[in-house]
Amino acid sequence: MTTLRCVLMLVALAGATFAGPEVTELKTEVVSVPEGCTTKSKHGDMLTMHYTGTLDDGHKFDSSYDRDQPFTFQIGVGQVIKGWDQGLLDMCVGEKRKLTIPASLGYGERGAGNVIPPHATLHFEVELINIGDSPPATNVFKEIDADKDNMLSREEVSIELAFQAMDTDRDGELSREEVSDYLKKQMVPADGGEVSEDIKQMLESHDKLVEEIFQHEDKDKNGFISHEEFSGPKHDEL
């Protein structure tokens, strides 16, 4: 499970700048294909990708290269945006592509927090690292052992318990509503006692706090924080 300490801080965008005509269809450009390709990606495969994502104005909003950590997901089951589900099919290991994804196959009219503006066309440079047949089996100990030292610290167990407490619908990922509800419960005394001035200020900026958490934690920018992405919150952040 990755930690917040390794996440690249993203710069908030103050609106969209569009260059050229509006993109309405997915465009896929094959940059390079390795020789001797015998296996290609198909629906249901587990793909491991490296990628860099930019907006029309060239602003880079995310990159697995910057984190030195490729992204693994199952294609064709809705784990990623539709532009990826469609644009990464029939791809060979080692192949590189450029995807131009219209808003209708990306984040639509809502965008994604302060990172992806509404109606944004997305540009991705992608490289397929590996193709797997099925999702890997879950090793609970390894998921909790964030620092990979084969021991579980109090902090690591606390983070796991926090995820379970937030994930009220038990779907393995956190929505903005789940994170918001959890934070409010942590801020307000259960016994109805007096709320401190610091907590009052945090409650007033509650929505901003939730968005900041998603900017840090939602690495694939799909609007949800998966178990793998989750790394907090820490008590000192509350």
Q: Which residues are catalytic?
A: 51, 61-62, 81, 107, 124
- For the chain, state the CA radius of gyration: 19
Helix locations, 122-196, DSSP H = 140-144, 154-166, 176-187
Distance CA 121, CA 104 (A): 9
Helix (H, G, I), strand (E, B) or coil at 173: strand
| CA pseudo-torsion sign 171, 223, 154, 138 | positive
Tabulate helix, strand, coil % of the chain (nearest 5).
Answer: 30, 20, 50
